Amino acid sequence: MSSQTYSISDLARELDITTRAIRFYEEQGLLRPERRGQERVYSPRDKVSLKLILRGKRIGFSLAECRELIELYDPTSGNQKQLHSMLAKIAERREQLEQQLLDIEQMKLELDTAEERCIQALEQTIKSEEIVQ
């Protein structure tokens, strides 16, 4: 790993997130920057962790799942454990999404049925009013 470091504003700008979000992840124990006085100094590892958090968020991982993946980060072993765990989590997330799609399709059918019944009932009340007049 390089000895390059990043300020909080460097990371925020580069990854297009707020410094507040970075501080939040730090408070959650997901990032561990060094301190130089009041200044936070982030390592390349922190940057990789932050990228992993953001990617995890985009695909629906919880912060706990992101933490688990970050803890498995080990570039000396080619990150094999992390990659296997990530693949398992991706498969699990995919299953959840497939179930949600089925649930949405079922709900759409139920909405269609309810809508049709409402239209029929409305037509009946309109016909009844026409007969009375």
The per-residue pLDDT for range 70-97, each reduced to its tens digit, is 898 888 888 899 999 999 999 999 999 9
Tokens of 104: 């949405």
Cβ(53)–Cβ(71) under 8 Å?
no
19, part of any domain? yes
Query: Three-state SS for 16?
Result: coil
Tokens of 60: 């629906």
131, part of any domain? no
Per the structure, the count of domains in the chain is: 1
CA torsion through residues 65, 66, 69, 70, sign: negative
111, part of any domain? no
18, part of any domain? yes
CATH code of the domain in which 4 resides: 1.10.1660.10
115, part of any domain? no
Quote the distance between the C-alpha of residue 27 and its chain's center: 18
Instruction: Identify the pLDDT of residue 28.
Output: 94
Instruction: Identify the pLDDT of residue 1.
Output: 46
Strands (E), the chain: 34-36, 39-41
Mean pLDDT lowest among 9-18, 54-63, 68-77, 113-122: 68-77
User: Which of 58, 60, 57 lies closest to 99, judged by CA?
Assistant: 60
Identify the domain containing residue 41 by its residue range: 1-73
Q: What are phi and psi of 17, to 5 degrees?
A: -135, 170
55, part of any domain? yes
Report if pTM > 0.85: no
- The residues, ordered by sequence, that sit 6+ positions from 75 with a Cβ below 8 Å of its Cβ are 1
123, part of any domain? no
